[in-house]
Chain A
């Protein structure tokens, strides 16, 4: 039992992302309101972004900008070796800038479509829309 707890605590970032992902997935599948579904999709995307950001982070590490040593600007004086463990991995973070753009674009398209659906049926509840389609 204590092993399980310690593994949960040690990897808490993964547990959080999985929990967020499941909340998002539940909202997409379980909710009937189209806007709630869109929010679910967004939570799902955010969970993935959290996952990527957390794998790039390191404990006690700083942003990946290499200073020019204590001498300030002189390359010759930077005798100290650059320790990779002192710097965060920037690549996953940069990837997520793209993913955020994609998420925003998806949200925009989804909301535009929701407006179109609302104008057409006067509601955003999925079951009401479906019953209206059947009547026609």
Chain B
């Protein structure tokens, strides 16, 4: 059974998505349980895979779990490769998706009472796509799953408030162009290597590093993926799409989509085009880090000027994408460690703040700064979660955000790239300003600014317990992951980078 985990990981959610769409016609109450079961199996399989990969002896088989779809051997068939890097991402994706599914149950049932079947079908298909992108070892298969994720994402985002369809349409344009660029890059790789299997390509490429075709393939793939992840100059679609999406969708897509794209970038850099090519043969390293610096600074400044809470958080995501791209491109161990660690941490903390905002929207019916007045009295538990997420984004020590930022900064110092260090510090300061402004409004801004005479106590209006508990679990997870950072780095991240050198 456990040898089938990589297959189950994708096939069970896929089949449950089909079941949900049938259940949507027959009995709407069945949709949610099927979705929970599907994602629970995926979570079980991904944790099982992580444990198997951790137990595997790196000297014996490279510490990699290889799964042949349909029994075809690579490089002819599609193979799923699971090493420590994507096992970590798989667990992050399935945990976040399941917690978000449970946390947003009430909200979804009230907002989409007639469309529950469609909503959960798209939700589970999106998670299937994300898991598939992470687990696959085939470059073209990755493209197909990328488009599955994107198409379901467009649909989910368009279910939001009035401006959502337009935002989603803009996302369609940019997302499709991005995926096409990736496909084009894979085409060039296929011309020169005659293979689509990532490991196979990596074994053929070293003799071809001087080829212009390989260079073109690399750059085109990178541009496509940067478009998909909203790396600064290519981010224009992101803030609107994530802001106007329904809150249940924002808290699914915002933490996971960009992070999985960062994983794809790191996978291409480390496995397909080996670090030797990425950092030594190409002279792009420094310029990409400078691009990341611009992304971080601009993301933070745009967040300062954002008109409401959700938009502010989306611009923070733009800055966080800059963190991870910059860290990965620093080209040293600390930077790469920080970048990989930040994939997990940023997914959790983004999930945390978006879930909290989802709860606020559920009760206050809005996400403007005014809706937050006196929110600490009205929704104390939600705000505990929000503050934990905010502290993690700022980088306050016991939370996990501090540790990945620490690795990123030390990577920047080691590489002598002080612009990157300055940008990180600047961005942390800006997030501190942003979040303390929110906390001030929420804590001191009394319930109704208009009634000066009234000192009527603001009654508590906490979100239902099924929404608060998952949020608090995520908030606790932020601190737990922070405390176990050392273990994660030594057992999961270090071996990944050790396999592929660099220093």
Contacts and interface: CB of A to CB of B under 8 A. Distances in A.
**Per DSSP, are chain B's interface residues mostly helix, strand or loop, or mixed?**
helix
Contacts of A48: 180, 183-184, 187
Interface in A12-34: 25, 28, 34
Contacts of A61: none
By size class, the interface of chain B is 20 to 34
Contacts of B158: 113, 116
Nearest to B153: A109
Interface residues of A, number: 30
28 contacts: A34-B169, A37-B173, A41-B176, A41-B177, A44-B177, A45-B176, A48-B183, A48-B187, A51-B187, A52-B187, A91-B190, A98-B140, A102-B144, A102-B147, A102-B151, A102-B179, A106-B172, A106-B176, A109-B155, A109-B172, A110-B173, A113-B158, A113-B165, A113-B168, A114-B169, A117-B166, A120-B162, A120-B166
B29 interface: no
A113 B191 CA distance: 36
* Most chain B CB atoms below 10 A, which of A37, A98, A102: A102
A9 interface: no
B437 interface: no
A110 B177 CA distance: 13
Given A41-B177, A44-B177, A48-B187, A95 B165 contact: no
Given A45-B176, A99-B183, 15 more contacts: A25-B177, A38-B172, A48-B183, A52-B187, A91-B190, A92-B187, A98-B140, A99-B143, A102-B179, A106-B172, A106-B176, A110-B169, A110-B172, A113-B172, A117-B166
Interface of A: 25, 28, 34, 37-38, 40-41, 44-45, 48, 51-52, 55, 91-92, 95, 98-99, 102, 105-106, 109-110, 113-114, 116-117, 120, 129, 133
Contacts of A129: 166
Contacts of A99: 143, 183
A113 B154 contact: yes
Nearest to B163: A133
A40 B165 CA distance: 19
A44 B169 contact: no
**Per DSSP, are chain A's interface residues mostly helix, strand or loop, or mixed?**
helix
Given A92-B190, A106-B151, A117 B176 contact: no
Interface string B116-152: 0000000000000000000000001001100100010
A98 B184 contact: no
A52 B173 CA distance: 21
A105 B158 CA distance: 16
B165 A109 contact: no
B150 to A, nearest CB: 8
Contacts of A37: 173
B190 A55 contact: yes
A99 B173 CA distance: 16
A121 B163 CA distance: 10
Contacts of A44: 176-177, 180
B72 to A, nearest CB: 14
A120 B169 contact: no
B183 A116 contact: no
A133 B173 CA distance: 20
A49 B425 CA distance: 45
Interface string B187-227: 10011000000000000000000000000000000000000
A51 B177 contact: no
Nearest to A40: B173
Nearest to B164: A116
Contact of A98 (B144, B154, B172): B144
A36 to B, nearest CB: 11
* Most chain A CB atoms below 10 A, which of B147, B154, B173, B187: B173
* Most chain A CB atoms below 10 A, which of B140, B180, B187, B190: B180
A43 to B, nearest CB: 11
Contacts of B184: 48, 51
A52 B187 CA distance: 7
A116 B147 contact: no
B140 A95 contact: yes
A106 B183 CA distance: 15
A1 B361 CA distance: 65
Contacts of A116: 158, 165
Contacts of B151: 102, 105-106, 109
A95 B187 CA distance: 10
A114 to B, nearest CB: 6
A37 B184 CA distance: 20
Contacts of A120: 162, 165-166
* Most chain A CB atoms below 10 A, which of B143, B144, B163, B166: B166
Contacts of B165: 113, 116-117, 120
Contacts of B168: 113
A34 B386 CA distance: 38
A110 B151 CA distance: 9
A24 to B, nearest CB: 8
Contacts of B147: 102, 105-106
A51 B166 CA distance: 31
A44 B162 CA distance: 29
A47 B158 CA distance: 28
A38 B171 CA distance: 12
Contacts of A45: 176, 180
A114 B187 CA distance: 31
**6 tightest A-B CB contacts, nearest first:** A116-B165, A113-B169, A102-B147, A110-B172, A117-B165, A41-B176
